[in-house]
Structure 1
Amino acid sequence: MSSLTPTAPERTATVSAPSRRSGRSRFYPWLVFALTFGLLLSDYMSRQVLSAVFPFLKAEWSLSDSHLASLNSVVALMVGLLTLPLSMLADRWGRVRSLVVMAALWSVATLLCAVAGSYEQMLGARFLVGVGEAAYGSVGIAVVLSVFAPRLRASLSGAFMAGGSFGSVIGVAFGGVIAVQLSWRWSFASMAIFGLILVALFWALVSERKLARHAIDDDTNTTHTEAPGPVARAPISSLFTNPAVLCAYIGGGLQMFTAAALMAWLPSFFGRSYGLAADKAAAMAAVFVLLIGAGMIVCGIVADRAARIDPARKWTVAIAISLAAGVLLIVGFRLPVGTAQLVLLGLGAFFSAGSTGAVTAMVANLTHPTVRASAFGTTTLANSLLGLAAGPFVVGVLADRISLANALQLAPLVYLGAVAVLLAGKRVYPAGVRKLATLSATPAQQTGADK
């Protein structure tokens, strides 16, 4: 797709069909996906296990709610600040090596949480958890997509991103059980051990050389041999000069606003509106979080099927999903408490983050492979600023003024903004593809642009 033209020794040779059959394993890409997805589960298990042990920490160290909140927010802060720079570093330093270092860091940091003797020590350990987790999602999905055909991008992206929802539920559920049966320290330790085992497996089974052997060309779906020299790198500026990819960043971030608000505030909503005890409210909310994750997977598959002939249809799918989520949630939150409301809210939760896979696929289609982890880092940054951080915060501020139920009625209106941006993205997508296709830079120019 890109016309980046490395010098003769740098050109990548296309493997013939017999070579592909003998040199490329059909199993290996799925092994890469399984291990990368497993580490994503570990990422969110290590991040969210803290919520399960809040009562134990509060009692043992006499912590205030603001102290407990800071242990959570320091991770999100590090992710927001470091995602883009660490993703850019991974594109240059090596994605496999970067993933191993990241996962090892957050696993060791989670182990430090298990032995922390004070609030200050726990805060320092959680800081390191955030540093380790900062760029994992962006670099991990770049590794996964590099070994699969472009026609599967929305499905794989949706499934991969859904790992955050599943990992959060697993971390809270198992962390709570372990804390009750053993101690809160073992809750952290068990998550750390799980992560370190996966790090060892990933390091042993995945390498840059194997990824290069199984890499898929964006245009022809053919594999490539390893290049004998460095590959020409697209300038970092290309991540921000294409209007279509900017629409994908912003539209994707806005469609995460309400999904993030649901994950943060549904336990409180069920407690206040349905009069459920804290444990039952959390259990019901966990079901809705799982629906959010399932929707990301299913909607990603639908987007890939719809775009088999025309990739631009992924924009249409993302727009339709955002509209469906907005309508269902707006109507659902306005209904009186009861079965009908729960059904509509469940359907709305299913679609609430469903366009994630399609949007991520569009980012991949509009950026050069050499800077794709940086592109996904930018996507993560947009998701964090416009959705994951903004959604819970804005709903919380509104809840203090107009009640939580009324605030949640307003949150789905943000989908209108997402739909408007995605419509604009669909309109400029052909020009965006042409812009990428005509992108040309010599190694010297790229070096200057990247400085």
Structure 2
Amino acid sequence: MNFHSAAPGNNDRDGYLVSKPKAWFAFAMTFALMLFDYIDRQVIVSLFPHLKAAWGLSDMQLGALVSIISIVVAAGGLPVALLADRFGRVKSIFVMATVWSLATIACMFTRNYSQLFLARAIVGAGETGYGSVGGALIATLFPKRLRATLLGAFFAAVSIGSVLGVMLGGVVAARWGWEAAFGVVGIPGLVLAVLYLLVPDYKTVEIAPRTERKQSAMAFVRETAAALFSSRSVLWTCVGAACQLVVVSTIWSWLPSYFNRYHGATADKAAMLAAVIVLCGAVGSFFWGVVADAVAVRRPRNKLVLMVSLSTATLLVFMTAFGVPMGANAQFLLIAFGGLMMMCTVAPAASVVLNVIHPGVRSTGAAVLSLFQNLFGLAVGPFVGGLLSDAWGLQTAMAVMPAFGLLAALCFLRAMRTYESDLAMASDVRMDAATPAVSPVAVSA
């Protein structure tokens, strides 16, 4: 893959790289796969009480079943995204979805903790790079003016998928046992993986001018790294987004157990209550993406101002909800309000990063964000929350973990100082649609 900055092209489709129907089909399919990405990832949360009873697991061990996916995703995100940028995003996503779906189905046949842990790690291997590659595809096929809004809608699938995973897991486990839950959520992903081959891709573009001599591997790495890390605002935004996701992953992973232990809810009822909170996060993900696009019209750095304000507010709401004595109904409403705000950084942070990353490595740039989000965000909440719960009790852990929101706010404040200058330096690169991986005519034949 050779990269160069090309001259800007004519905006003959109102900023759409392909026709609107094709672009929206790509969005729908990418959204659907993200939905099952997180259904498969989070289904196990509602099964915690069953696994704890069946195998006598500690909270740390249960949390590790969630954290291992984020660790594997973080470890493999960059190389997978580099391959996707080089060989095509659609084909790469087809392979990813096939692997994670088969691994999820395999979880139903495990007979001890070690086997389940290994199967969950393979789920993570399949999901590696999906969010970054899918996000880059959406960001490129649609106009820039819709970027935060569409990424907000795309990442709302994270919360919706988590809700469905928790709900389905609780209902299926109550009727047919916890093993069956993995089979129910794993099979649809295989169908979507095949259909995804109909999605349009975009042609890879070049970062540096083409030369007569063949580019060495080391030169390619240096060139890619320079394109990725030339922006200070990218790194600060990645760290801030990760800190906020520590809060989110703690709520996602431990809320069903919290309702089960402290409010006496049955496992399936606790899963339903937690699902309502996570659904609030889905609404918030889309809503704050729309707000971010709106406030950035006058000044782009307002996206970061919004994230500073909301991550701080989320911290205060959750620390009050779990740290101050109150009635069960009042606490639930306050947690729901926090759930609405906790996803406030997902879409704006992604749009900030994608706005200043060269399109030639846009999937890879998104993978840098994903690495931080998974390794230092999603992996931290379940595991550290479990450690604190084993030491001090789940109530205290839920009150302490939201403090990571303050670190997020400080990082976004630092990113504000360089974002607009980094944005001004970003090149306007001509983009072209690629030939579909599978022709619709061929499929119909």
Distance across 2 between alignment mates of 1:181 and 1:253: 37
Q: Which residue pairs with 2:344 in the alignment?
A: 354
Q: 1:81: Cα distance to partner?
A: 1.6
Question: Equivalent of 2:199, from 189, 196, 206?
Answer: 206
How many percent identity over aligned positions? 37
Q: List per-residue Cα deviations over 1:82-105 (Å, max 9, x = no partner).
A: 122212221112111110111111
Distance across 1 between alignment mates of 2:339 and 2:237: 21
Q: Residues 378 and 110 from structure 1, CA distance in 2 versus in 1: closer, same or farther, beyond 3 angstroms?
A: same
Q: List per-residue Cα deviations over 1:13-72 (Å, max 9, x = no partner).
A: 72464x77999422221111110110111112222334455677778xx63426766654
Distance across 1 between alignment mates of 2:44 and 2:124: 13
Q: Residues 29 and 13 from structure 1, CA distance in 2 versus in 1: closer, same or farther, beyond 3 angstroms?
A: same
Q: TM-score, normalised by structure 1?
A: 0.81
Question: Equivalent of 1:308, from 268, 280, 297?
Answer: 297
Q: Residues 333 and 53 from structure 1, CA distance in 2 versus in 1: closer, same or farther, beyond 3 angstroms?
A: closer
1:99 equivalent to 2:89? Answer no
1:146 equivalent to 2:114? Answer no
Q: Residues 22 and 82 from structure 1, CA distance in 2 versus in 1: closer, same or farther, beyond 3 angstroms?
A: closer
Q: Which residue pairs with 1:372 in the alignment?
A: 362
Q: 1:356: Cα distance to partner?
A: 1.3
1:281 equivalent to 2:281? Answer no
Question: Equivalent of 2:37, from 33, 43, 47?
Answer: 43
Question: Equivalent of 1:384, from 369, 374, 379?
Answer: 374
Q: Which residue pairs with 2:183 in the alignment?
A: 189
Contact 2:148–2:347 (8 Å) recurs in 1: yes
Distance across 1 between alignment mates of 2:141 and 2:76: 26
Distance across 1 between alignment mates of 2:57 and 2:409: 37
Q: Residues 335 and 370 from structure 1, CA distance in 2 versus in 1: closer, same or farther, beyond 3 angstroms?
A: same
Distance across 2 between alignment mates of 1:399 and 1:78: 24
Question: Equivalent of 2:414, from 414, 424, 446?
Answer: 424
- In structure 1, the gaps of 5 or more residues are 216-229, 440-451
Contact 2:15–2:142 (8 Å) recurs in 1: no
* Letter in structure 2 aligned against 1:26: K
Q: Which residue pairs with 1:223 in the alignment?
A: none
1:294 equivalent to 2:283? Answer yes
Q: Residues 331 and 122 from structure 1, CA distance in 2 versus in 1: closer, same or farther, beyond 3 angstroms?
A: closer
Q: Residues 119 and 322 from structure 1, CA distance in 2 versus in 1: closer, same or farther, beyond 3 angstroms?
A: closer
Question: Equivalent of 1:83, from 71, 77, 80?
Answer: 77
Distance across 1 between alignment mates of 2:161 and 2:298: 34
Superposed, 1:6-405 pairs within 5 Å as 11=6, 14-15=9-10, 17=12, 24-52=18-46, 63-65=55-57, 71-115=65-109, 122-182=116-176, 184=178, 186-203=180-197, 205-208=198-201, 211-212=202-203, 235-338=224-327, 339-405=329-395
Q: 1:287: Cα distance to partner?
A: 1.0
Contact 2:109–2:179 (8 Å) recurs in 1: yes
Give secondary structure in 2 for the equivalent of 1:336.
coil
Aligned length: 410
Contact 1:179–1:186 (8 Å) recurs in 2: yes
Distance across 2 between alignment mates of 1:416 and 1:87: 30
* Letter in structure 2 aligned against 1:299: W
* Letter in structure 1 aligned against 2:55: L
Contact 2:18–2:141 (8 Å) recurs in 1: no
Q: Residues 135 and 414 from structure 1, CA distance in 2 versus in 1: closer, same or farther, beyond 3 angstroms?
A: same
Q: Residues 322 and 73 from structure 1, CA distance in 2 versus in 1: closer, same or farther, beyond 3 angstroms?
A: closer
* Letter in structure 1 aligned against 2:200: S
Q: 1:161: Cα distance to partner?
A: 1.8
Q: Which residue pairs with 2:396 in the alignment?
A: 406
Distance across 2 between alignment mates of 1:192 and 1:331: 38
The 10-residue stretch of structure 1 (175-184 or 321-330) with the greater mean CA deviation from structure 2: 175-184
Q: 1:115: Cα distance to partner?
A: 4.8
Contact 1:335–1:341 (8 Å) recurs in 2: no
Q: 1:360: Cα distance to partner?
A: 0.8
Contact 1:242–1:435 (8 Å) recurs in 2: no
Q: TM-score, normalised by structure 2?
A: 0.82
The structure, 1 or 2, with the larger RCO (C-alpha pairs under 8 Å, 6+ apart) is: 2
Distance across 1 between alignment mates of 2:63 and 2:332: 29
- CA RMSD of the aligned region, Å? 3.2
Q: List per-residue Cα deviations over 1:336-372 (Å, max 9, x = no partner).
A: 2313333222211211121211111100111111111
Contact 1:273–1:337 (8 Å) recurs in 2: no
Q: 1:379: Cα distance to partner?
A: 0.9
Distance across 1 between alignment mates of 2:321 and 2:128: 34
* Letter in structure 1 aligned against 2:25: L
